[in-house]
Copies of this chain bind each other. A is one copy, B any other.
């Protein structure tokens, strides 16, 4: 089956044709006219495609596919699924980008498990769940939002309104802000990661703190779902100083016997996981699509 796979984020949009394997990946900036960017990217790729699978930043209505991505202010309640179907004349399926990343990791990541959480630690903290070999959607397509698990009751305020959510501590801008309050000059996660790699104490502490929080959040998900694998992607996950405290915190907080072989590792597929998962919405719907 020939599927056009699309991954829509706040900064860039990626697309590739899946035809037994993922073809060349095309990219364009999202810009201020995201629909214009999407169509400019997809129009040259549409020949012979039978379906379009899309991963997009949330929140969204699911499976209706009306999207209001936090990082794409031009779209609020935008009917992305139906607009794509109307323009390209093929079936369209759409899911949260972190869910598509998770599906990609389960389908093609080589993990050898039916119980996996995918996680993206970047500007936000997102995730998705595969349990018993099937993706979980929850009542409204929002299952997997590990960023809003409370890891520090009464902790820092989260944009969702609660206190102490994992995302309020471990998303890139929160890590940078914590370091800035302690005199660190970095204004982006990349800058802060560079300082950490040079041994800057505040930068190291900032990532260590985020790692501790991620360890609790990952442990909570693993204990609740009896997971075997947690695959973590996103820019922040590539900072080495995050991982030692992540593993220590996980060990301390997830001691129950059945988690003794839990593997928590960097995602296997890199940036293409989301595109591969978007294709899987059509290529393997028995496991990855329960919507209409």
Contacts and interface: CB of A to CB of B under 8 A. Distances in A.
Contacts of A153: 151-152, 216, 253
Number of copies: 2
Which 9 A/B pairs are nearest by Cβ-Cβ distance? Answer: A138-B226, A161-B255, A142-B226, A115-B139, A143-B226, A162-B255, A160-B256, A148-B223, A139-B228
A258 B140 contact: yes
A77 to B, nearest CB: 13
A272 interface: no
A220 to B, nearest CB: 5
B136 A253 contact: no
Query: For the side of the interface on A, what is the size category?
Result: 35 or more
A9 interface: no
Interface string A123-158: 000000101101011111111111011111100000
11 contacts: A131-B143, A132-B138, A143-B226, A145-B256, A149-B220, A150-B219, A150-B220, A151-B153, A152-B153, A153-B216, A224-B225
A188 B163 CA distance: 34
Most buried by B among A115, A132, A137, A219: A132
